[in-house]
Structure 1
Amino acid sequence: MYYKGVYHLFYQFNPYGAVWGNISWAHSISYDLVDWVHLEPAINPSQPFDINGCWSGSTTFLPGEKPAILYTGEDLKNRQVQNLAVPKNVSDPLLREWVKSPHNPLLTPIDDIDPQNFRDPTTAWQGPDRVWRVIVGSKINGRGMAILYRSKDFVEWTRSKNPLHSSTKTGMWECPDFYPVSINNKNGEKKFSKHVLKASFNSQDHYILGNYTPRTDKFEVDTDFLDEGFDFRYDNGKFYASKTFYDSAKKRQILWGWVTESDSESDDIEKGWSGLQSIPRNILLSGTGRQLVLWPIKEIEKLRTNNVSFHDKELKGGSLFEVSGITASQADVEISFDLPNLDEAESIDPSWVDPQLLCSQKGASVRGTVGPFGLLVLASKDLTEQTAVFFRIFRRHDNYVVLMCSDQSRSSLREGLDKPIYGAFVSMDHLDRKISLRSLIDHSIIESFGGDGRTCITARVYPKLAIHREGHLYVFNNGTSSVRTSSLNAWSMKRAQIFPMQKRRKQQINYK
């Protein structure tokens, strides 16, 4: 959240180790969403209503811009209950101390609610009647759902007769999120709005769009979760349990995602840490209003240095060239491809609807007509280690299908790693014979954005050879048709500054 000029990030954290347990709310602050200062945890297990863990939740601003946290606690009976915490001193912009409400728990799993499937309250919102609404993730009688509650005072909550939405196709809805998005016109005015409902299940973050009526709390969806051809996801790679917040300073909706490890628990213990947050992403509604578009926040560009660029370079079939002059193990790369005559594209079987399976069958080494073409990231000089992020174009009836893949099968010579191949279709409003790819590379993570952010894939890789200055970046085309890179810009990326609180205080004194 953004409060008194400071960005606050709260996240699930074990203060005593890099494995699950002792779950608390860690707390870090920033003035630009790039450089961060770690504070002491905001909430720790301490009371009967959260003694077995302070789990996920959300912040809400109450009247007078007073922040409040709703979070899930696991109580003495191992039930999941919803609790409230507020700042001890609202005049402190760092919000270093939080006080748990004497009314806790506010919401308990009664009636048909499974006490093991009742968690992760969202940011609350007020309707035109000034009554607060909040949803909590659950699963009842095999239906994943967002249970809706209402309150006049943010303490006494009443369950709505009907959930905000539910589905028979999904399991438990973890970390639900609900918020409006808009298409803005050239004057910055809201031209067209939708509401987003996100739910985390099956190790993925799925979302649907719809029209929400605040007076009746009716949410009419455009398409439902897992509908064939409309299985929308924030990210088709390793990205889960995400949360958005509204940045009132810059009037934008920002998304954070939890990115887990792909190595072992013993590796985590040796490293001393496990899991990280994605680069913060802006969330916008596409021009058609049919899907979301995600893009790294502008502030990340302050880390760019050592730019390399070129334009209008032809990539003949089977060609490969290195992008040199940058630190490839920590880089930001933007590339745009001009596509050839697509009449030559391979036909796709209409039954091939699983893009991940398609990427597995037609990887970067399998030659097609138009593609595969893209980037080899965190590659060793001899290419024995490489992560391929690429496109392949197919023809289906009178239309074209763009497949985007992130292939980690050759990412490391280390044994015992999860090396998946991720895939997704890029939904293009119109294929204008151009397609773009942006990849943010940071040693063990690659966040890729295809088609101007219509499709995102995050990967975790742990190269053994392609580390630090031994990492290389290549552009390749393994199709038989030539493609042209209309533009490429690549930058080395400086390190973000991460400080424990005491170090930042010392630095401020030194600067003075």
Structure 2
Amino acid sequence: MVPSVLPIQPQWCCLVSRDLINWMTLEPAISPSIESDQFGCWSGSATILPDGTPMIVYTGLNRIQGNDTNYQVQNVAYPKDASDPLLREWVKPDYNPIILPEAGLNATQFRDPTTAWKGPDGRWRLLVGNEKGQEGRALVYRSWDLKAWERAEQPLHSAITAMWECPDFFPVAAAGSEDALDLSSSSGDAVKHVLKSSLPFLWNDYYTIGTYDAGTDSYVPDDPAGDYNRTRYDYGTFYASKTFYDPAKQRRVLWGWVNESDTATADAAKGWAGIQAIPRKVWLDAGGKQLVQWPVEEVESLRGKPTTADVEVVFETPSLDKAEPFDPSFSNDAQKLCNMKGADVGGGVGPFGLWVLASSNLDERTAVFFRVFRAYNGRPVVLMCSDTTRSSLSPDLYMPRVAGFVDTDITDGKISLRTLIDRSVIESFGAGGKTCILSRVYPSLATGRSAHLFVFNNGEEDIKVQHLTAWEMNNAQFSE
């Protein structure tokens, strides 16, 4: 990931946690200190080796001698004392850099190495994001000893999408199983693979599901058009994400960055430059065509007395007869449809959902809602939106509508919504986590005890709240 312009060179900060929710801040772990990272230590990934030693491979920023052109290389670091449970200090072997951009590669778009895995031939592999012309690529590098790496002749996969930042590649178990797999699980009819990339300028994370051939180190999406109609992890503000395998709970955990999108003046006044979203468990849906995401169970430890902050609601509509017709020209553009039919535009079945971080007079409010359209291709079309256009009275803020379609069968009339609400973050999970939207908002009236929650319905069809539970959430703990 290309970091924002900072007054200091990018480095790796270090925090530790026992539960993914409460964190202790330590001193920086990896900072510019050698020739191959003298202008910055950028993104990378950790790999746990067979003996339990963690290895970090990261992108170092260097410059061509005699000019100011940046180029990127891959470096490795190991803990100075592997017995230290906090892994406070890291060392960089003198054989760095371990991967250089060969002649013919775009050395300024060559970064963000993935977690490494060992193939059936005993060699280690990792991916590096790259761009060639307008083609985004996941380059494969192989090594016997984790020191000398060679690039495979062909990328794992590529597509005309521009640079692939922060690639991630991992196996998922048979459709419908929530049990995760580590990276060594590379074969078998019940194993699929996920290839994810972050596209700069769009600032979104996209993924495809497909088949990995460990013999040729190639990946083919199940959907032939998948590279150009790719699914997003999140249809809101969510970027540069990374997953890891948790062997203790046999789950794969997804963590994404929530960046700032307002004016430079407004962002500077906040005093920070983005945060991390709540970690999510991720697995393959029973249909085998998309991933399902859900907040890690540890977040529930913050729940307190029943009030507002973690909201679970099930809506029920007795009939879909009043649903509006669906215009197929919007099939691949949920956001455009949401822009036309926001929370305040009346419909047939919906819009219905929640107004969150709302002031008592509703001058400020953020809507998270569903809208159901008549059957198209054999089933009703469900749109999920987050409408932040009235989230604040401040004129300097970015307040968009964002949306995604929900792959769910609503013929039984029921659909669920879970929403985590913080002072400036609204994370919503529709239909059990099939569609996720994270919105960043900065209300001026609806803060603290002045923030309210409402259920609303602006459609002709009556909507029943079959179930609604809300918990006050205690603060996560951060210490130094």
What TM-score does the superposition give when structure 2 sets the normalisation length? 0.93
| 1:58 aligned partner | 45
| 1:130 aligned partner | 122
Q: How far did 1:431 drift?
A: 4.0
The C-alpha deviation readout for 1:277-332, integer Å capped at 9, x for no partner, is 0000001100111110000000000000112xxxxxxxxxxxxxxxxxx2x4xx00
| 2:251 aligned partner | 252
| 2:205 aligned partner | 205
Amino acid at match of 1:134: L
Q: How far did 1:106 drift?
A: 1.0
Amino acid at match of 2:215: R
What TM-score does the superposition give when structure 1 sets the normalisation length? 0.87
| 1:171 aligned partner | 162
The C-alpha deviation readout for 1:85-141, integer Å capped at 9, x for no partner, is 000000111000000121111111122211110000000000111100000000113
Amino acid at match of 2:89: E
State whether residues 35 and 496 of structure 1, in contact with CA within 8 Å, keep that contact through their aligned partners in structure 2: yes
Structure 1: distance between partners of 2:349 and 2:223: 31
SS of the residue corresponding to residue 192 of structure 1 reads coil
- Structure 1 pair 187/339, CA: closer, same or farther in 2 (3 Å)? closer
- Structure 1 pair 225/467, CA: closer, same or farther in 2 (3 Å)? farther
- Structure 1 pair 431/199, CA: closer, same or farther in 2 (3 Å)? farther
Structure 2: distance between partners of 1:378 and 1:144: 39
Amino acid at match of 1:108: L
| 1:422 aligned partner | 402
**Which among 345, 370, 375 is matched to residue 366 of structure 1?**
345
- Structure 1 pair 430/125, CA: closer, same or farther in 2 (3 Å)? farther
1:2-401 counterparts in 2 under 5 A? 19=6, 21-77=8-64, 78-168=70-160, 170-183=161-174, 192-201=190-199, 202-223=202-223, 230-307=229-306, 326=307, 328=308, 331-353=309-331, 354-397=333-376, 398-401=378-381
Structure 2: distance between partners of 1:187 and 1:352: 32
Q: How far did 1:65 drift?
A: 1.1
- Structure 1 pair 399/459, CA: closer, same or farther in 2 (3 Å)? same
SS of the residue corresponding to residue 82 of structure 1 reads strand
Amino acid at match of 2:207: Y
The C-alpha deviation readout for 1:437-495, integer Å capped at 9, x for no partner, is 11100100000011110100000000010001100000011101001111011001000
Structure 2: distance between partners of 1:231 and 1:211: 15
- Structure 1 pair 465/207, CA: closer, same or farther in 2 (3 Å)? same
Amino acid at match of 1:332: D
- Structure 1 pair 20/171, CA: closer, same or farther in 2 (3 Å)? farther
- Structure 1 pair 156/461, CA: closer, same or farther in 2 (3 Å)? same
- Structure 1 pair 58/431, CA: closer, same or farther in 2 (3 Å)? farther
Q: How far did 1:12 drift?
A: 9.6
- Structure 1 pair 189/55, CA: closer, same or farther in 2 (3 Å)? closer
**Which among 401, 406, 413 is matched to residue 386 of structure 2?**
406
**Which among 411, 415, 418 is matched to residue 438 of structure 1?**
418
SS of the residue corresponding to residue 300 of structure 1 reads helix
SS of the residue corresponding to residue 350 of structure 2 reads coil
Structure 2: distance between partners of 1:410 and 1:172: 34
Q: How far did 1:272 drift?
A: 2.7
State whether residues 126 and 133 of structure 1, in contact with CA within 8 Å, keep that contact through their aligned partners in structure 2: yes
Amino acid at match of 2:165: E
Structure 2: distance between partners of 1:269 and 1:203: 20
Structure 2: distance between partners of 1:444 and 1:298: 22
How many pairs were matched up? 464
Spell out structure 1 runs of 4+ moving beyond 4 A: 11-14, 18-21, 184-191, 224-228
Structure 2: distance between partners of 1:142 and 1:358: 28
Structure 1: distance between partners of 2:75 and 2:265: 34
- Structure 1 pair 383/120, CA: closer, same or farther in 2 (3 Å)? same
Q: How far did 1:248 drift?
A: 1.5
Q: How far did 1:258 drift?
A: 0.4
CA RMSD of aligned residues (A): 2.0
More strand by share: 1
State whether residues 37 and 61 of structure 2, in contact with CA within 8 Å, keep that contact through their aligned partners in structure 1: yes
SS of the residue corresponding to residue 404 of structure 2 reads strand
Amino acid at match of 1:495: N
Structure 1: distance between partners of 2:470 and 2:221: 40
The C-alpha deviation readout for 1:132-160, integer Å capped at 9, x for no partner, is 00000001132101000100001100100
Structure 2: distance between partners of 1:187 and 1:381: 41
Structure 2: distance between partners of 1:244 and 1:214: 20
SS of the residue corresponding to residue 63 of structure 2 reads coil
State whether residues 19 and 269 of structure 1, in contact with CA within 8 Å, keep that contact through their aligned partners in structure 2: no
SS of the residue corresponding to residue 298 of structure 2 reads helix
Structure 2: distance between partners of 1:41 and 1:187: 35
State whether residues 409 and 421 of structure 1, in contact with CA within 8 Å, keep that contact through their aligned partners in structure 2: yes
Mean Cα deviation higher: 183-192 or 471-480: 183-192
State whether residues 42 and 60 of structure 2, in contact with CA within 8 Å, keep that contact through their aligned partners in structure 1: yes
Q: Unaligned regions of 5+ residues in structure 1, if any?
A: 1-10, 308-325, 501-512
